[in-house]
Amino acid sequence: MKAIIRTGDGAPDVLQLGEVPSPKPTRTQLLVDVKATALNRADLIQRRGGYPPPPGESEILGLEIAGIVSAIGDAVEGVAKGDKVFGLVGGGGYAEQAVIDYRMAMPIPDEWSFEQAAAVPEVFFTASENIFTLGGVAAGETILIHAGGSGVGSAGIQMAHHAGACVFVTAGTPKKIDNCVALGAVAGINYKTADFVAEIQRLTEGQGVDVVLDFIGAPYLARNLSILKTKGRLLQVGLMGGATTEISLNTVMRNRLMIIGSVMRPQSLEEKIAITERFMARWLPELKAGTLRPVIDTVFPLARARQAHEYMEANRNFGKILLRVD
């Protein structure tokens, strides 16, 4: 099969279209003819030599797939050849075929395209698990979502707004802020031209927010903690700015704050199945009804994965960047 392979670790030009053996499904896996996959920041880190796949997972990039089942393991239940499915995978998405445990494969709604389906799993799972399962965001609470124009950001804005929370965001351009507001954010802060701490204090009349969802890490840590209300929660889901810094624990203790870290990929199969089930129960009906929607910025053909990575690294996208597999 054709797949995007890495010729080394480094810049996007290490990504090349090549031929590799097709994967073999285990007893509980499906072999899927992939029709679409999506980019995530984790792919960029793996391309540079970091964030390796869990043991037993494909070294090929790609954490979500949408396609047609072409073979099934002998322990698979409720799925047949020819079914259209989508879901989260530990690796292998940038290819013509990939495997997925049948308990993590979700049926693609009839009215969806493969691209729509591929834009959902990683970002909606991440937003759901962090904002609600771990963060416990409830109606009437306030949340600041950094990187509002990202895939997780665009999903989280919609979900938190739908749940009755007041949503603030940061983003890097006025257009991205306008798009965030259109998805349900109350206000946006341009992090390139304004201090988000001062702006949150102004927007909340000095009250701060209940929750912060952050992808940046070290440079934002102390500032994020400073804008949390008593019993506030910082949800740390990325380290784009670095992992090491110093803070005063007095703030954490005095205000009874919680710092909650989460990474999706290393979690066990059982944990990922549970995440899938929670998502299907609470959010898939809303997506099927059109109450929520995956936000798609651009679709590249698989052979142009390098250009897709360059596009993401330039922060040009609002929402998801997809790869179409023909």
Q: What are 35-74's pLDDT values in tens digits?
A: 999 999 999 999 999 999 999 999 999 999 999 999 999 9
Q: What is the mean pLDDT of the chain?
A: 97
Whether residue 220 contacts residue 146, with contact meaning beta carbons closer than 8 Å, is answered with: yes
**Would you give the DSSP letter of residue 131?**
I
Interval 265-315: pLDDT, tens: 999 999 999 999 999 999 999 999 999 999 999 999 999 999 999 999 999
Task: Tell whether 242 and 177 lie within a shared domain.
Answer: yes
For residue 187, give the nearest of 131, 144, 158 by alpha carbon: 144
Of 261, 283, 311, the domain-final residue: 261
**CATH number, position 200:** 3.40.50.720
pTM reported for the whole predicted model: 0.96
DSSP class per residue in 74-127: TT--S--TT-EEEEE-SS--SBSEEEEEGGG-EEPPTT--HHHHHTSHHHHHHH
| Helix, strand and coil in the chain, % to nearest 5 | 35, 25, 40
For 153, the domain range is 123-261
Of 236, 261, 286, the domain-final residue: 261
Interval 172-183: pLDDT, tens: 999 999 999 999
Task: Tell whether 16 and 99 lie within a shared domain.
Answer: yes
Task: Tell whether 146 and 229 lie within a shared domain.
Answer: yes
**CATH number, position 45:** 3.90.180.10
Task: Tell whether 279 and 253 lie within a shared domain.
Answer: no
Question: Rounded distance, CA 237 to CA 130, Å?
Answer: 8
Whether residue 235 contacts residue 203, with contact meaning beta carbons closer than 8 Å, is answered with: no
Give the largest Cα separation in the chain, rounded.
Answer: 60
Of 261, 279, 314, the domain-final residue: 261
Task: Tell whether 63 and 182 lie within a shared domain.
Answer: no
Q: Who contacts 194 (Cβ-Cβ below 8 Å, separation ≥6)?
A: none
Interval 83-132: pLDDT, tens: 999 999 999 999 999 999 999 999 999 999 999 999 999 999 999 999 99
What's the sign of the alpha-carbon dihedral 161, 149, 298, 50?
A: negative
How many domains in the chain?
A: 2
Task: Tell whether 225 and 169 lie within a shared domain.
Answer: yes
φ/ψ of residue 232, rounded to 5: -70, 160
Helical (H) or strand (E) element with 15? strand 15-19
Question: Rounded distance, CA 69 to CA 82, Å?
Answer: 5
List the structure tokens of 136: 């416990």
Instruction: List Cβ<8 Å contacts ≥24 apart for 243-250.
Output: 243/217, 243/218, 244/218, 245/217, 245/218, 245/219, 245/221, 247/221, 247/222, 248/222
Whether residue 62 contacts residue 43, with contact meaning beta carbons closer than 8 Å, is answered with: yes
